[in-house]
């Protein structure tokens, strides 16, 4: 990845400077969505970077989006409020029809529509995506959707949702990954109910219930029954971009810890003079740099349209582990002050812990590598 986007990074740092720790702490206390921050990113064109220029976007590859999200997190902010618009975009760009692109992309690029919700996970199946029970039954020129999704973040703050539903019963298809289809859903449609889920972090996550929801057939993306492959494309992008966020988090934690270690004086000397403080921060930094290389490799393969499933998964896993190690080192460096709200360490500590579990758990990534890369017997 030769392009590092210095001008975009500088713009993001300046934008994030308008939303300091006090802004995020207030939202975290109230569990409120960062509407002003998301609007500022939209107005600056940052959420439209992956949209081609003919539709009003910047036409950048995924490395541009990764640079934006990394810099948001390295600035102490949280890209979770808007990152879905980045990784769901690939499904429309790669598999959507010309009519769908012309209908949705210009309005998304202009900030008139938000594509922030990604409806895949269900309560009873978790990461076993092919076992989802939400159905979409074709009736005339419409699909009737019934079912439930969970951990659907930003559903209350999105105009559109990318939805995965079963259009053919699992027992009637040759492969269990067949019979799944992807739709663009208007969140203002009747038959859709949203229930907020209060969680450890302020991530605007929800449950979504579908009861006779009607989706026009022109909102079906690609070919009916082939949606699982389209979602996998989006999931590779999702893992890469989450990896970039984790790299940003790790950079924030190591910088925060280093600054504090240099300024905090105990027993007449800065605590950063002690190797017991230095080494955990240095180790976290080294692991961040190694994970950063894997993120870049996954980006390179993705942009070349080459198979990148293992690399995207490893990038997300290694970056998430690096950010968590950096978070622990930062909290330990701050001691009791690390638990104080005003330092922002405890908030970021909670936020980066998410990525050990979502969008896919570390255990599932290891199982994927064991089976598909190392050729070990399938474990599930």
Question: What are the domain boundaries of the chain?
Answer: 6-114, 116-225, 229-372
Which pLDDT belongs to residue 161? 97
Top-level CATH class of 229-372? mainly alpha
d(CA 61, CA 241): 12
Long-range contact list for 93-98, CB < 8 A, 24+ apart? 93/50, 93/51, 93/52, 94/230, 94/233, 95/182, 95/221, 95/222, 95/230, 95/233, 96/221, 96/222, 97/221
Token pair of 128, please?
């076993």
List, for the chain, all residue ranges whose pLDDT scores fall below the cut of 50. 1
Token pair of 363, please?
């255990």
d(CA 82, CA 103): 21
Which pLDDT belongs to residue 2? 54
Q: Encode 324-359: b = buried (16+ Cβ within 10 Å), e = exposed.
A: bbbbbbbbebbeeebeeeebbbbbbbbbbbbbeebb
Backbone angles phi, psi at 31, to 5 degrees: 55, 50
Q: Angle at the Cα of 235 (from 232 to 241), degrees rounded to 5?
A: 150
Q: For the domain 116-225, what is the CATH code?
A: 2.40.110.10
d(CA 190, CA 144): 11
> Whole-prediction pTM value?
0.95
Which residues are tagged catalytic? 238
Which pLDDT belongs to residue 338? 98
Which pLDDT belongs to residue 226? 95
d(CA 19, CA 8): 17
Report the 10 Å Cβ neighbour count for 321: 18
Which pLDDT belongs to residue 1? 47
Token pair of 291, please?
């994970």
Report the 10 Å Cβ neighbour count for 59: 14
| Contact criterion met (CB below 8 Å) for 15 and 44 | yes
CATH of the domain spanning 6-114, picked from 3.50.50.100, 3.40.190.10, 2.130.10.10, 1.10.540.10: 1.10.540.10
d(CA 322, CA 231): 27
């Amino acid at each position: 990845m030769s392009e590092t986007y210095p001008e975009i990074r500088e713009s993001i740092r300046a934008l994030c400077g308008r939303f300091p720790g006090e802004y995020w702490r207030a939202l975290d206390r109230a569990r409120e969505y960062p509407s002003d921050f998301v609007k500022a990113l939209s107005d600056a064109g940052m959420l439209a970077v992956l949209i081609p220029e003919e539709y009003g976007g910047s036409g950048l590859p995924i490395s541009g989006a990764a640079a934006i999200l990394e810099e948001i997190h390295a600035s102490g902010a949280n890209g979770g409020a808007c990152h879905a618009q980045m990784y769901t975009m690939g499904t429309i760009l790669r598999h959507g029809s010309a009519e769908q692109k012309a209908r949705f992309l210009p309005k998304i690029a202009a900030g008139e529509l938000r594509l922030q919700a990604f409806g895949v996970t269900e309560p009873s199946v978790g990461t076993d995506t092919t076992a989802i029970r939400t159905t979409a039954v074709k009736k005339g020129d419409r699909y009737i959707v019934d079912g439930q999704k969970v951990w659907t973040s930003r559903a209350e703050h999105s105009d559109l949702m990318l939805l995965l539903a079963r259009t053919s019963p699992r027992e009637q298809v040759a492969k269990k990954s067949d019979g799944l289809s992807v739709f663009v859903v208007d969140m203002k449609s009747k038959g859709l109910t949203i229930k907020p889920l209060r969680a450890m972090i302020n991530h605007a996550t929800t449950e979504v219930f579908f009861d006779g929801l009607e989706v026009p057939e022109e909102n079906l993306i690609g070919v009916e029954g082939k949606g699982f492959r389209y979602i996998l494309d989006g999931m590779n992008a999702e893992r890469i971009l989450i990896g970039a966020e984790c790299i940003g988090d790790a950079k924030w934690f190591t910088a925060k810890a280093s600054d504090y270690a240099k300024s905090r004086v105990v027993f007449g000397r800065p605590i950063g003079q002690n190797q017991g403080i230095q080494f955990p921060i240095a180790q976290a930094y080294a692991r961040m740099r190694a994970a950063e290389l894997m993120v870049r490799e996954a980006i390179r393969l993705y942009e070349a349209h080459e198979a990148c499933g293992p690399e995207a998964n490893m990038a997300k896993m290694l970056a998430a582990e690096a950010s968590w190690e950096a978070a622990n080192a930062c909290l330990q460096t701050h001691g009791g002050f690390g638990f104080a709200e005003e330092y922002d360490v405890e908030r970021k500590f909670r936020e980066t812990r998410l990525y050990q579990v979502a969008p896919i758990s570390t255990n599932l990534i290891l199982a994927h590598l064991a089976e598909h890369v190392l050729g070990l017997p399938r474990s599930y």
